[in-house]
A and B are shown apart, each in its own frame.
Chain A
Protein backbone atom coordinates (compact mmCIF):
# COMPACT_ATOMS: atom_id res chain seq x y z
CA UNK A 1 0.00 0.00 0.00
CA UNK A 2 1.32 3.41 -0.92
CA UNK A 3 1.44 5.99 1.83
CA UNK A 4 -1.29 8.08 0.21
CA UNK A 5 -3.20 7.02 -2.85
CA UNK A 6 -4.99 9.32 -5.20
CA UNK A 7 -8.48 8.88 -3.72
CA UNK A 8 -7.20 9.77 -0.26
CA UNK A 9 -5.55 12.92 -1.54
CA UNK A 10 -8.66 14.03 -3.39
CA UNK A 11 -10.91 13.33 -0.40
CA UNK A 12 -8.56 15.14 1.98
CA UNK A 13 -8.29 18.30 -0.05
CA UNK A 14 -11.93 18.40 -1.12
CA UNK A 15 -13.00 18.11 2.51
CA UNK A 16 -10.54 20.77 3.68
CA UNK A 17 -11.82 23.12 0.98
CA UNK A 18 -15.46 22.43 1.78
CA UNK A 19 -15.00 22.81 5.54
CA UNK A 20 -13.16 26.12 5.06
CA UNK A 21 -15.86 27.26 2.63
CA UNK A 22 -18.50 26.22 5.15
CA UNK A 23 -16.76 28.14 7.94
CA UNK A 24 -16.54 31.23 5.74
CA UNK A 25 -20.22 31.00 4.88
CA UNK A 26 -21.25 30.46 8.50
CA UNK A 27 -19.27 33.40 9.82
CA UNK A 28 -19.16 35.85 6.92
CA UNK A 29 -22.12 35.15 4.62
CA UNK A 30 -24.97 33.97 6.85
CA UNK A 31 -26.79 36.87 8.51
CA UNK A 32 -26.85 37.42 12.23
CA UNK A 33 -30.06 35.99 13.69
CA UNK A 34 -32.27 38.71 15.18
CA UNK A 35 -33.13 37.40 18.64
CA UNK A 36 -30.43 34.82 19.37
CA UNK A 37 -27.50 36.66 17.82
CA UNK A 38 -24.27 34.93 16.93
CA UNK A 39 -24.96 31.86 19.03
CA UNK A 40 -27.43 30.78 16.35
CA UNK A 41 -24.43 30.08 14.06
CA UNK A 42 -23.78 26.88 16.06
CA UNK A 43 -26.90 25.55 14.35
CA UNK A 44 -25.03 24.96 11.06
CA UNK A 45 -22.45 22.73 12.77
CA UNK A 46 -25.00 21.16 15.08
CA UNK A 47 -27.33 20.02 12.32
CA UNK A 48 -24.38 18.85 10.20
CA UNK A 49 -23.05 16.65 13.02
CA UNK A 50 -26.47 15.28 13.93
CA UNK A 51 -27.20 14.42 10.30
CA UNK A 52 -23.86 12.67 9.84
CA UNK A 53 -24.30 10.74 13.10
CA UNK A 54 -27.70 9.47 12.00
CA UNK A 55 -26.48 8.69 8.49
CA UNK A 56 -23.42 6.84 9.83
CA UNK A 57 -25.62 4.60 11.98
CA UNK A 58 -27.80 3.96 8.96
CA UNK A 59 -24.67 2.81 7.07
CA UNK A 60 -23.86 0.53 10.03
CA UNK A 61 -27.29 -1.06 9.77
CA UNK A 62 -27.03 -1.58 6.00
CA UNK A 63 -23.56 -3.10 6.29
CA UNK A 64 -24.84 -5.31 9.10
CA UNK A 65 -27.58 -6.63 6.82
CA UNK A 66 -25.05 -7.12 4.00
CA UNK A 67 -22.73 -8.98 6.36
CA UNK A 68 -25.47 -11.36 7.45
CA UNK A 69 -26.37 -11.94 3.82
CA UNK A 70 -22.88 -12.30 2.27
CA UNK A 71 -20.71 -13.12 5.33
CA UNK A 72 -17.84 -11.05 3.89
CA UNK A 73 -15.46 -9.46 6.36
CA UNK A 74 -15.40 -6.11 4.57
CA UNK A 75 -19.00 -5.38 5.54
CA UNK A 76 -18.11 -5.90 9.19
CA UNK A 77 -15.19 -3.50 8.87
CA UNK A 78 -17.38 -0.93 7.13
CA UNK A 79 -20.15 -1.25 9.74
CA UNK A 80 -17.87 -0.83 12.74
CA UNK A 81 -15.89 1.99 11.10
CA UNK A 82 -19.09 3.86 10.34
CA UNK A 83 -20.37 3.34 13.88
CA UNK A 84 -17.12 4.81 15.25
CA UNK A 85 -17.30 7.88 13.03
CA UNK A 86 -21.03 8.21 13.79
CA UNK A 87 -20.42 8.16 17.54
CA UNK A 88 -17.88 10.96 17.21
CA UNK A 89 -20.35 13.08 15.26
CA UNK A 90 -23.21 12.27 17.62
CA UNK A 91 -21.00 13.41 20.50
CA UNK A 92 -20.28 16.65 18.63
CA UNK A 93 -23.99 17.16 17.96
CA UNK A 94 -24.80 16.72 21.66
CA UNK A 95 -21.99 19.06 22.78
CA UNK A 96 -22.76 21.76 20.20
CA UNK A 97 -26.46 21.50 21.08
CA UNK A 98 -25.66 22.01 24.76
CA UNK A 99 -23.55 25.08 23.96
CA UNK A 100 -26.47 26.53 22.04
CA UNK A 101 -29.09 25.55 24.61
CA UNK A 102 -27.30 27.19 27.55
CA UNK A 103 -27.93 30.80 26.41
CA UNK A 104 -31.20 30.12 24.54
CA UNK A 105 -33.00 27.69 26.85
CA UNK A 106 -31.00 28.67 29.92
CA UNK A 107 -30.07 25.01 30.52
CA UNK A 108 -27.35 22.72 29.17
CA UNK A 109 -29.74 19.86 28.85
CA UNK A 110 -33.49 19.24 28.75
CA UNK A 111 -35.42 16.00 28.29
CA UNK A 112 -36.85 17.04 24.96
CA UNK A 113 -37.48 14.25 22.39
CA UNK A 114 -34.63 15.17 20.08
CA UNK A 115 -32.15 15.49 22.91
CA UNK A 116 -33.32 12.28 24.51
CA UNK A 117 -33.13 10.37 21.24
CA UNK A 118 -29.56 11.53 20.60
CA UNK A 119 -28.61 10.40 24.08
CA UNK A 120 -30.27 7.02 23.46
CA UNK A 121 -28.50 6.65 20.11
CA UNK A 122 -25.22 7.50 21.76
CA UNK A 123 -25.80 4.84 24.44
CA UNK A 124 -26.89 2.29 21.82
CA UNK A 125 -23.60 2.57 19.98
CA UNK A 126 -21.64 2.59 23.22
CA UNK A 127 -23.31 -0.79 23.88
CA UNK A 128 -22.40 -1.80 20.30
CA UNK A 129 -18.70 -1.16 20.99
CA UNK A 130 -18.84 -2.92 24.36
CA UNK A 131 -20.37 -5.93 22.62
CA UNK A 132 -17.59 -5.92 20.00
CA UNK A 133 -14.90 -5.56 22.65
CA UNK A 134 -16.27 -8.56 24.54
CA UNK A 135 -15.98 -11.10 21.71
CA UNK A 136 -12.69 -12.55 20.53
CA UNK A 137 -13.75 -14.74 17.61
CA UNK A 138 -13.89 -12.36 14.59
CA UNK A 139 -16.73 -14.16 12.79
CA UNK A 140 -18.90 -14.23 15.89
CA UNK A 141 -18.08 -10.60 16.66
CA UNK A 142 -19.12 -9.66 13.15
CA UNK A 143 -22.39 -11.59 13.33
CA UNK A 144 -23.40 -10.32 16.77
CA UNK A 145 -22.56 -6.71 16.04
CA UNK A 146 -24.39 -6.91 12.69
CA UNK A 147 -27.52 -8.14 14.50
CA UNK A 148 -27.17 -5.48 17.17
CA UNK A 149 -26.51 -2.72 14.62
CA UNK A 150 -29.72 -3.62 12.78
CA UNK A 151 -31.93 -3.82 15.88
CA UNK A 152 -30.41 -0.70 17.43
CA UNK A 153 -31.09 1.41 14.37
CA UNK A 154 -34.62 0.09 13.87
CA UNK A 155 -35.67 0.92 17.43
CA UNK A 156 -34.52 4.54 17.08
CA UNK A 157 -37.62 5.75 15.16
CA UNK A 158 -39.90 3.91 17.60
CA UNK A 159 -38.13 5.46 20.58
CA UNK A 160 -38.39 8.83 18.90
CA UNK A 161 -42.09 8.41 18.20
CA UNK A 162 -42.81 7.41 21.78
CA UNK A 163 -40.84 10.31 23.24
CA UNK A 164 -42.41 12.66 20.71
CA UNK A 165 -45.89 12.09 22.08
CA UNK A 166 -44.62 14.02 25.08
CA UNK A 167 -44.45 17.75 24.47
CA UNK A 168 -41.46 19.00 22.57
CA UNK A 169 -39.51 22.23 23.08
CA UNK A 170 -36.86 21.57 20.43
CA UNK A 171 -37.32 24.03 17.56
CA UNK A 172 -38.40 22.51 14.26
CA UNK A 173 -36.36 24.61 11.86
CA UNK A 174 -36.42 22.42 8.79
CA UNK A 175 -39.70 21.21 7.32
CA UNK A 176 -41.84 22.48 10.19
CA UNK A 177 -44.31 25.32 10.04
CA UNK A 178 -42.65 28.49 11.28
CA UNK A 179 -43.68 29.95 14.59
CA UNK A 180 -44.18 26.59 16.29
CA UNK A 181 -43.89 28.43 19.57
CA UNK A 182 -40.82 26.44 20.57
CA UNK A 183 -38.23 28.54 22.37
CA UNK A 184 -35.37 29.29 19.98
CA UNK A 185 -37.33 28.67 16.79
CA UNK A 186 -36.63 31.01 13.89
CA UNK A 187 -37.51 31.20 10.23
CA UNK A 188 -34.60 30.85 7.85
CA UNK A 189 -33.77 33.46 5.25
CA UNK A 190 -32.35 32.37 1.90
CA UNK A 191 -28.67 32.98 2.83
CA UNK A 192 -29.19 30.95 5.99
CA UNK A 193 -30.66 28.13 3.94
CA UNK A 194 -27.72 28.13 1.47
CA UNK A 195 -25.27 28.13 4.38
CA UNK A 196 -27.12 25.23 5.97
CA UNK A 197 -27.12 23.15 2.78
CA UNK A 198 -23.45 23.86 2.21
CA UNK A 199 -22.47 22.92 5.73
CA UNK A 200 -24.53 19.72 5.50
CA UNK A 201 -22.62 18.86 2.31
CA UNK A 202 -19.29 19.74 3.95
CA UNK A 203 -20.03 17.55 6.96
CA UNK A 204 -21.09 14.70 4.68
CA UNK A 205 -17.78 15.02 2.85
CA UNK A 206 -15.98 15.02 6.19
CA UNK A 207 -17.83 11.82 7.11
CA UNK A 208 -16.74 10.02 3.96
CA UNK A 209 -13.16 11.19 4.39
CA UNK A 210 -12.98 10.05 8.00
CA UNK A 211 -14.65 6.77 7.05
CA UNK A 212 -12.12 6.30 4.27
CA UNK A 213 -9.23 6.88 6.68
CA UNK A 214 -10.76 4.52 9.23
CA UNK A 215 -11.10 1.81 6.56
CA UNK A 216 -7.49 2.33 5.48
CA UNK A 217 -6.47 1.94 9.11
CA UNK A 218 -8.43 -1.33 9.31
CA UNK A 219 -6.73 -2.62 6.17
CA UNK A 220 -3.34 -1.61 7.58
CA UNK A 221 -4.12 -3.43 10.83
CA UNK A 222 -5.11 -6.48 8.85
CA UNK A 223 -1.88 -6.33 6.85
CA UNK A 224 0.23 -5.99 9.99
CA UNK A 225 -1.51 -9.02 11.48
CA UNK A 226 -0.80 -11.05 8.34
CA UNK A 227 2.84 -9.96 8.19
CA UNK A 228 3.30 -10.85 11.84
CA UNK A 229 1.87 -14.29 11.13
CA UNK A 230 4.33 -14.74 8.27
CA UNK A 231 7.30 -13.64 10.34
CA UNK A 232 6.30 -15.86 13.23
CA UNK A 233 5.89 -18.86 10.97
CA UNK A 234 9.46 -18.42 9.67
CA UNK A 235 11.05 -18.27 13.08
Chain B
Protein backbone atom coordinates (compact mmCIF):
# COMPACT_ATOMS: atom_id res chain seq x y z
CA UNK B 1 0.00 0.00 0.00
CA UNK B 2 1.38 3.38 -0.89
CA UNK B 3 1.87 6.08 1.76
CA UNK B 4 -1.10 8.05 0.52
CA UNK B 5 -3.39 5.03 0.65
CA UNK B 6 -2.38 4.38 4.25
CA UNK B 7 -3.14 7.97 5.17
CA UNK B 8 -6.50 7.73 3.41
CA UNK B 9 -7.23 4.44 5.20
CA UNK B 10 -6.78 6.17 8.57
CA UNK B 11 -8.95 9.11 7.55
CA UNK B 12 -11.57 6.65 6.27
CA UNK B 13 -11.54 4.77 9.58
CA UNK B 14 -12.05 8.05 11.48
CA UNK B 15 -14.83 9.18 9.16
CA UNK B 16 -16.67 5.86 9.61
CA UNK B 17 -16.32 6.13 13.41
CA UNK B 18 -17.49 9.71 13.31
CA UNK B 19 -20.48 8.91 11.11
CA UNK B 20 -21.55 6.24 13.62
CA UNK B 21 -20.97 8.18 16.84
CA UNK B 22 -21.15 11.82 15.63
CA UNK B 23 -19.25 12.55 18.84
CA UNK B 24 -16.75 15.14 17.59
CA UNK B 25 -19.09 16.83 15.15
CA UNK B 26 -21.95 17.26 17.59
CA UNK B 27 -19.78 18.46 20.48
CA UNK B 28 -17.91 21.00 18.33
CA UNK B 29 -21.05 22.25 16.61
CA UNK B 30 -23.19 22.61 19.71
CA UNK B 31 -20.33 24.31 21.52
CA UNK B 32 -19.83 26.76 18.64
CA UNK B 33 -23.50 27.68 18.49
CA UNK B 34 -23.59 28.24 22.23
CA UNK B 35 -20.45 30.35 22.01
CA UNK B 36 -22.13 32.57 19.40
CA UNK B 37 -25.02 33.26 21.76
CA UNK B 38 -22.81 33.80 24.79
CA UNK B 39 -20.75 36.30 22.80
CA UNK B 40 -23.79 38.19 21.60
CA UNK B 41 -25.08 38.47 25.17
CA UNK B 42 -21.76 39.17 26.90
CA UNK B 43 -20.41 41.72 24.44
CA UNK B 44 -23.62 43.50 23.44
CA UNK B 45 -22.72 43.18 19.78
CA UNK B 46 -25.60 45.35 18.59
CA UNK B 47 -23.77 48.38 19.95
CA UNK B 48 -20.40 47.78 18.29
CA UNK B 49 -19.38 47.54 14.66
CA UNK B 50 -19.73 43.85 13.71
CA UNK B 51 -16.92 44.18 11.15
CA UNK B 52 -14.50 44.91 13.99
CA UNK B 53 -15.58 42.18 16.37
CA UNK B 54 -16.68 39.27 14.17
CA UNK B 55 -13.20 38.10 12.98
CA UNK B 56 -11.99 37.81 16.58
CA UNK B 57 -15.15 36.07 17.77
CA UNK B 58 -15.06 33.65 14.84
CA UNK B 59 -11.47 32.62 15.56
CA UNK B 60 -12.04 32.29 19.30
CA UNK B 61 -14.95 29.99 18.51
CA UNK B 62 -12.89 27.93 16.03
CA UNK B 63 -10.00 27.65 18.50
CA UNK B 64 -12.06 26.46 21.45
CA UNK B 65 -14.36 24.22 19.44
CA UNK B 66 -11.20 22.80 17.85
CA UNK B 67 -9.74 21.78 21.21
CA UNK B 68 -12.95 19.85 21.96
CA UNK B 69 -12.74 17.91 18.70
CA UNK B 70 -9.00 17.33 18.88
CA UNK B 71 -9.32 15.96 22.40
CA UNK B 72 -12.05 13.54 21.39
CA UNK B 73 -10.12 12.40 18.34
CA UNK B 74 -7.17 11.13 20.38
CA UNK B 75 -9.11 10.16 23.49
CA UNK B 76 -11.10 7.65 21.45
CA UNK B 77 -7.84 6.11 20.23
CA UNK B 78 -6.72 5.82 23.84
CA UNK B 79 -9.90 4.06 24.96
CA UNK B 80 -9.60 0.29 24.55
CA UNK B 81 -5.98 0.87 23.45
CA UNK B 82 -6.87 1.48 19.80
CA UNK B 83 -3.69 3.52 19.43
CA UNK B 84 -1.62 0.40 20.18
CA UNK B 85 -3.30 -1.36 17.29
CA UNK B 86 -2.56 1.56 15.01
CA UNK B 87 1.08 1.63 16.09
CA UNK B 88 1.42 -2.12 15.46
CA UNK B 89 0.19 -1.74 11.89
CA UNK B 90 3.06 -2.19 9.40
CA UNK B 91 3.42 1.40 8.30
CA UNK B 92 5.39 4.52 8.90
CA UNK B 93 4.36 6.46 12.01
CA UNK B 94 4.12 9.63 9.94
CA UNK B 95 1.20 8.05 8.05
CA UNK B 96 -0.64 7.88 11.38
CA UNK B 97 0.15 11.51 12.07
CA UNK B 98 -1.00 12.74 8.67
CA UNK B 99 -4.07 10.54 8.77
CA UNK B 100 -5.15 11.80 12.17
CA UNK B 101 -4.24 15.43 11.41
CA UNK B 102 -6.06 15.48 8.07
CA UNK B 103 -9.05 13.76 9.65
CA UNK B 104 -9.15 16.38 12.41
CA UNK B 105 -8.85 19.14 9.84
CA UNK B 106 -11.72 17.60 7.90
CA UNK B 107 -13.98 17.46 10.97
CA UNK B 108 -13.11 21.01 11.96
CA UNK B 109 -13.83 22.17 8.41
CA UNK B 110 -17.23 20.50 8.37
CA UNK B 111 -18.13 22.34 11.59
CA UNK B 112 -16.82 25.59 10.10
CA UNK B 113 -19.05 25.06 7.05
CA UNK B 114 -22.02 25.34 9.40
CA UNK B 115 -20.70 27.89 11.89
CA UNK B 116 -19.37 30.51 9.47
CA UNK B 117 -22.74 31.00 7.72
CA UNK B 118 -24.37 31.23 11.17
CA UNK B 119 -21.92 34.02 12.05
CA UNK B 120 -22.60 35.71 8.72
CA UNK B 121 -26.35 35.66 9.27
CA UNK B 122 -26.51 36.50 12.98
CA UNK B 123 -23.94 39.31 12.88
CA UNK B 124 -24.80 40.46 9.38
CA UNK B 125 -21.25 40.34 8.00
CA UNK B 126 -20.26 39.15 4.50
CA UNK B 127 -18.16 36.16 5.63
CA UNK B 128 -19.17 33.91 2.74
CA UNK B 129 -16.35 34.88 0.38
CA UNK B 130 -13.65 32.79 -1.22
CA UNK B 131 -10.94 34.93 0.36
CA UNK B 132 -12.30 34.42 3.88
CA UNK B 133 -12.56 30.68 3.30
CA UNK B 134 -8.92 30.65 2.21
CA UNK B 135 -7.93 32.20 5.55
CA UNK B 136 -10.08 29.67 7.41
CA UNK B 137 -8.51 26.72 5.59
CA UNK B 138 -4.96 28.01 6.18
CA UNK B 139 -5.64 28.75 9.84
CA UNK B 140 -7.31 25.40 10.46
CA UNK B 141 -4.49 23.44 8.79
CA UNK B 142 -1.71 24.53 11.15
CA UNK B 143 -3.97 24.49 14.19
CA UNK B 144 -5.18 20.93 13.49
CA UNK B 145 -1.64 19.68 12.80
CA UNK B 146 0.00 20.90 16.00
CA UNK B 147 -3.25 20.19 17.86
CA UNK B 148 -3.09 16.54 16.80
CA UNK B 149 0.47 16.27 18.11
CA UNK B 150 -0.37 17.98 21.41
CA UNK B 151 -3.57 16.05 22.01
CA UNK B 152 -1.55 12.83 21.59
CA UNK B 153 0.60 14.16 24.43
CA UNK B 154 -2.33 15.50 26.46
CA UNK B 155 -4.22 12.19 26.63
CA UNK B 156 -1.10 10.64 28.17
CA UNK B 157 -0.92 13.12 31.05
CA UNK B 158 -2.70 13.04 34.36
CA UNK B 159 -4.83 16.09 33.56
CA UNK B 160 -5.83 14.54 30.20
CA UNK B 161 -8.27 16.74 28.23
CA UNK B 162 -7.58 19.83 30.33
CA UNK B 163 -3.97 19.81 29.19
CA UNK B 164 -4.60 20.37 25.47
CA UNK B 165 -5.74 24.02 25.47
CA UNK B 166 -2.94 24.93 27.89
CA UNK B 167 -0.36 23.47 25.54
CA UNK B 168 -1.98 24.51 22.29
CA UNK B 169 -3.16 28.10 22.75
CA UNK B 170 0.19 29.84 23.47
CA UNK B 171 1.80 28.04 20.55
CA UNK B 172 -1.03 29.09 18.21
CA UNK B 173 -0.66 32.82 18.79
CA UNK B 174 0.66 33.44 15.25
CA UNK B 175 -2.39 31.67 13.79
CA UNK B 176 -4.82 33.83 15.74
CA UNK B 177 -3.11 37.12 15.04
CA UNK B 178 -2.69 36.57 11.33
CA UNK B 179 -6.03 34.82 10.79
CA UNK B 180 -7.99 37.47 12.69
CA UNK B 181 -6.25 40.28 10.84
CA UNK B 182 -6.56 38.60 7.44
CA UNK B 183 -10.26 37.88 8.00
CA UNK B 184 -10.80 41.46 9.16
CA UNK B 185 -8.87 42.81 6.19
CA UNK B 186 -10.90 40.84 3.66
CA UNK B 187 -14.16 41.82 5.39
CA UNK B 188 -13.23 45.49 5.29
CA UNK B 189 -12.50 45.15 1.59
CA UNK B 190 -8.79 45.94 1.91
CA UNK B 191 -6.72 45.29 -1.24
CA UNK B 192 -5.02 41.89 -1.36
CA UNK B 193 -1.60 43.53 -1.08
CA UNK B 194 -2.50 44.73 2.44
CA UNK B 195 -3.63 41.29 3.55
CA UNK B 196 -0.80 39.41 1.78
CA UNK B 197 1.52 39.82 4.80
CA UNK B 198 -0.87 37.92 7.01
CA UNK B 199 -1.45 35.19 4.44
CA UNK B 200 2.30 34.70 4.02
CA UNK B 201 2.68 34.47 7.77
CA UNK B 202 -0.09 31.87 7.96
CA UNK B 203 1.49 29.80 5.18
CA UNK B 204 4.94 30.02 6.79
CA UNK B 205 3.52 29.00 10.16
CA UNK B 206 1.64 26.06 8.61
CA UNK B 207 4.75 24.85 6.77
CA UNK B 208 7.00 25.08 9.82
CA UNK B 209 4.54 23.69 12.36
CA UNK B 210 3.45 20.79 10.13
CA UNK B 211 7.10 19.89 9.49
CA UNK B 212 8.05 19.90 13.19
CA UNK B 213 4.89 18.10 14.28
CA UNK B 214 5.53 15.40 11.71
CA UNK B 215 9.19 15.06 12.76
CA UNK B 216 8.46 14.86 16.49
CA UNK B 217 5.33 12.68 16.34
CA UNK B 218 7.49 9.53 16.47
CA UNK B 219 8.84 10.51 19.88
CA UNK B 220 5.37 11.20 21.25
CA UNK B 221 3.89 7.80 20.37
CA UNK B 222 7.06 5.83 21.18
CA UNK B 223 6.63 3.43 24.11
Contacts and interface: CB of A to CB of B under 8 A. Distances in A.
> Do A and B come from the same complex?
yes
Interface of A: 68, 120, 123-124, 127, 130-131, 134-136, 140, 143-144, 146-148, 150-152, 154-155, 158-159, 161-163, 165
* Interface size grouping (class) on chain B: 20 to 34
A152 B170 contact: yes
B153 A120 contact: no
Given A144-B153, A161-B201, A162-B177, A136 B170 contact: no
B87 interface: no
A177 B102 CA distance: 46
Nearest to B202: A162
B158 A151 contact: no
Nearest to B157: A134
A210 B12 CA distance: 52
Nearest to A148: B167
A124 B169 CA distance: 9
User: Per DSSP, are chain B's interface residues mostly helix, strand or loop, or mixed?
Assistant: helix
A150 B219 CA distance: 13
Nearest to B159: A134
Contacts, number: 84
Interface in B198-220: 198, 201, 204-205, 208-209, 212-213, 216, 219-220
A127 to B, nearest CB: 5
Interface centre among B153, B156, B209 (most CB of A within 10 A): B153
User: Per DSSP, are chain A's interface residues mostly helix, strand or loop, or mixed?
Assistant: helix
Contacts of A162: 173-174, 177-178, 198, 201
Nearest to B197: A165
Contacts of A127: 166-167, 170
B146 interface: yes
A124 B170 contact: yes
A58 B9 CA distance: 39
Contact of A155 (B166, B171, B198): B171
B222 interface: yes
Given A148-B153, A151-B216, A131 B167 contact: yes
A152 B181 CA distance: 22
A147 B153 contact: yes
Contacts of A148: 150, 153, 167
B163 interface: yes
B100 to A, nearest CB: 16
B220 A147 contact: yes
A154 B197 CA distance: 19
A220 B209 CA distance: 37
Contact of A130 (B156, B159, B205): B159
B149 A140 contact: no
A158 B153 contact: no
Given A134-B163, A144-B156, A68 B173 contact: no
Contacts of A143: 219-220, 222
A148 B170 CA distance: 11
